C-alpha cells in the first residue's frame, strides 16, 4: 500500500471557502492524502483564496513567495491555488509563479484528484471552467468521522445581482441551487456524526430555489424540511440579499423553533444615491420597512449587516445617511470596510474618495457599531439563553459555546460537554463575549 501523503490547506475569506476546503480535503482523501496543520510536513499545499478584499491577488503571491524555499528543499512538493483568485487570475498565477503546479476555480474542485495525478507526471494543471456536472455529486462521500457540534452546508452558489463593487458573479458564476434531497442527505449525515447546528451557506442564500419533490422549493421550504431532521437542533443561514427576503422566510423566523433569531442582512449604504450607484436594487426606505416586518415576526431577532464606506462619489451627507440608518436599525454585529476597487467591476473605473476621508468615515462607523454591539450585549445580563457548547475554554472547568443570538458565551465550573445544549443565565458582559452560569442541561 502506498504511503499516505500530507495535504496542507490554507483558507481565506468566507464560510463558503471553509466549506469548500473541507470538501477539497475529502476529495483528496480519496487520492491518498490526509490533512496536516503544517506546510513543512506537506506533500501538497493548497491555498483556497478569496477575491473580495483589496489586493487579494497580491496577498496570494506574497503567500506563495514564502513557500519558495520549501519547494526548493522538496522538489516533489505540489503547490496549488484554488478559489476565487484562481478563477479570476488562473493563467496569470501560472505565469508569475512558475512553481505553482495547479490552479483550480471554485466550481471545478471536484476535479482536484485528476489534476493532482496530472502534476505527478510533471505537467501543469489549470481548470477554471464552470462545468455542467454537479461538483457536489461528483465528490466522494464524507468520511464518517465524528464532527464538532456545528457545521456549514452550502445550498446555493453564485449571484445574479451584479452589484457594482462585487466580483462574485464573475468568479462564482450565476445563481445555482442544490436539489433538496441532496441537501437533506448531507444534513442527516452531518447529524449522524455529531452535528447539532447547521448554517446554510450561499453567496445569495435566500435566493435559493432548489428542486424538490413537488417543484422548486424556497429557502423557507428547505428550512421546514430540515426542521423535520431528528437530532438537528439549530438552523442558521447566510448571506442574504434584502430583495430576496420573501414573506415565507420572514414568517419562518417567527414560527420555526429551530431557526435561530439571528439574521445577517447586508445593506451596504444608507444613501439612496450610493445604493443606486452600487446597483443594489433596493433603497433605504424599502430596507427599513423590511427590518420592521422581520422584527414584527420575531421581536428579539439580532440583526447584523455589511457596510462599505468611501464608495465612489460618496459625500459626507451620503455617509451621514448611513450613520442615521445604523442608529435607527441598531445592529448587534456588523462587518464594515473601506471601498476597494475590484478589477473588472463597474465601480472600478470611477473616481475614488480621498483615502484619509474614507478612513475617517470607517473609524466613525465602526465606533458606532461597537457602541451598539456592546449595548445589546449588556442588555443580555440577567437573561437566560440557550447555549450550544462547542469546546472547553482556556480555564479548567470552563466551557465555551454560542447562544441562539450567536453571542460567544463562556461558563465556568461547568459539567456540560461539547455538543450539549443548555440553558445559561448571563451574569457578565465583556468586550466580545458573555459570561454565564449553568441553569440546566
What cell numbers appear for 319 in the block? 455617509
Bridge-partner residues for 152, per DSSP? 199
Answer yes or no: is 256 a known binding residue. Answer: no
Distances in Å between the Cα of 234 and the Cα atoms of 251, 266, 358, 387 are 17, 22, 39, 11
Of 307, 310, 360, the residue nearest 340 (C-alpha): 310
Distances from the Cα of 8 to the Cα of 22, 78, 273, angstroms: 12, 10, 45
CA atoms within 13 A on the CB side of 263: 28
Report which secondary-structure segment, H or E, holds 126. strand 125-127
Alpha-carbon distance 275 to 268, whole Å? 8
Q: Give Cα 428 to chain centroid, integer Å.
A: 29
Using left for φ > 0, alpha for ψ between -120 and 50, and beta otherwise, residue 205 falls in: alpha
Is 84 flagged in the annotation as binding?
A: yes
* Order of all β-strands in the sheet with 333-338: 262-264, 302-309, 333-338
To the question of whether residue 159 is assigned a binding role by annotation, the answer is yes
Q: What is the sign, positive or negative, of the torsion defined by CA atoms of 193, 412, 379, 408?
A: negative
Peptide bond into 245 cis (omega under 30): no
Q: Can you tell me the distance from the alpha carbon of 397 to that of 394, in angstroms, rounded to the nearest whole number?
A: 9
CB 385, CB 403: distance < 8 Å: yes
Residue 315 CB contacts under 8 Å (≥ 6 apart), including other chains: none
Q: Residue 163, annotated ligand binder?
A: yes
Say whether 383 sits in a helix, a strand or coil: coil
414 has binding-site annotation: no
Give Cβ neighbours of residue 354 (< 8 Å, ≥ 6 apart): none
Binding-site residues, please? 14, 50, 84, 159, 163, 166
Annotated binding-site ranges for [4Fe-4S] cluster? 14, 50, 84, 159, 163, 166
Amino acid at each position: 500500500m502506498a504511503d499516505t501523503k500530507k495535504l496542507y490547506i490554507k483558507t481565506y475569506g468566507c464560510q463558503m471557502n471553509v466549506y469548500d476546503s473541507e470538501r477539497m480535503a475529502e476529495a483528496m482523501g480519496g487520492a491518498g492524502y490526509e490533512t496536516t496543520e503544517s506546510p513543512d510536513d506537506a506533500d501538497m499545499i493548497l491555498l483556497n483564496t478569496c477575491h473580495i478584499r483589496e489586493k487579494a491577488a497580491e496577498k496570494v503571491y506574497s503567500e506563495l513567495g514564502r513557500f519558495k524555499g520549501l519547494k526548493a528543499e522538496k522538489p516533489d512538493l505540489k503547490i496549488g491555488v484554488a478559489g476565487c483568485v484562481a478563477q479570476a487570475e488562473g493563467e496569470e498565477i501560472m505565469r508569475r509563479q512558475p512553481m505553482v503546479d495547479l490552479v483550480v476555480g471554485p466550481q471545478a474542485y471536484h476535479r482536484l484528484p485528476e489534476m493532482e495525478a496530472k502534476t505527478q507526471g510533471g505537467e501543469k494543471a489549470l481548470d477554471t471552467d464552470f462545468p455542467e456536472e454537479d461538483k457536489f455529486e461528483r465528490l466522494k462521500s464524507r468520511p464518517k468521522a465524528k464532527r464538532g457540534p456545528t457545521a456549514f452546508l452550502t445550498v446555493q452558489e453564485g449571484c445574479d445581482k451584479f452589484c457594482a463593487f462585487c466580483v462574485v458573479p464573475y468568479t462564482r458564476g450565476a445563481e445555482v441551487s442544490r436539489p433538496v434531497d441532496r441537501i437533506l442527505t448531507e444534513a442527516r449525515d452531518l447529524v449522524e456524526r455529531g452535528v447539532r447546528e447547521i448554517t446554510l451557506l450561499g453567496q445569495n442564500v435566500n435566493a435559493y430555489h432548489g428542486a424538490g419533490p413537488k417543484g422548486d422549493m424556497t429557502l423557507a421550504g428547505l428550512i421546514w424540511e430540515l426542521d423535520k431532521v431528528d437530532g438537528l437542533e439549530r438552523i442558521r443561514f447566510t448571506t442574504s440579499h434584502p430583495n430576496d427576503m420573501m414573506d415565507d422566510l420572514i414568517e419562518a423566523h417567527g414560527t420555526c423553533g429551530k431557526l435561530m433569531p439571528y439574521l445577517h442582512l447586508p445593506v451596504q449604504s444608507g444613501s439612496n444615491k450610493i445604493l443606486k450607484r452600487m446597483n443594489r436594487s433596493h433603497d433605504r426606505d424599502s430596507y427599513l420597512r423590511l427590518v420592521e416586518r422581520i422584527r414584527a415576526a420575531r421581536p428579539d431577532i439580532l440583526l447584523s449587516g455589511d457596510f462599505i464606506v468611501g464608495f465612489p462619489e460618496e459625500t459626507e451627507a451620503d455617509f451621514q445617511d448611513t450613520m442615521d440608518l445604523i442608529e435607527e436599525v441598531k445592529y448587534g454585529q456588523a462587518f464594515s470596510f473601506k471601498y476597494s476597487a475590484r478589477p473588472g467591476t463597474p465601480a472600478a473605473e470611477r473616481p475614488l474618495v480621498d483615502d484619509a476621508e474614507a478612513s475617517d468615515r470607517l473609524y466613525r462607523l465602526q465606533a458606532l457599531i461597537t457602541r451598539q454591539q456592546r449595548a445589546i450585549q449588556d442588555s443580555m445580563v440577567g437573561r437566560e439563553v440557550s447555549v450550544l457548547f462547542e469546546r472547553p475554554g482556556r480555564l479548567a472547568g470552563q466551557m465555551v459555546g454560542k447562544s441562539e443570538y450567536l453571542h460567544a458565551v463562556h461558563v465556568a465550573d461547568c459539567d456540560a460537554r461539547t455538543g450539549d445544549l443548555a440553558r445559561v443565565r448571563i451574569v457578565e458582559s465583556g468586550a466580545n463575549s458573555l459570561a454565564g452560569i449553568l441553569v440546566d442541561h
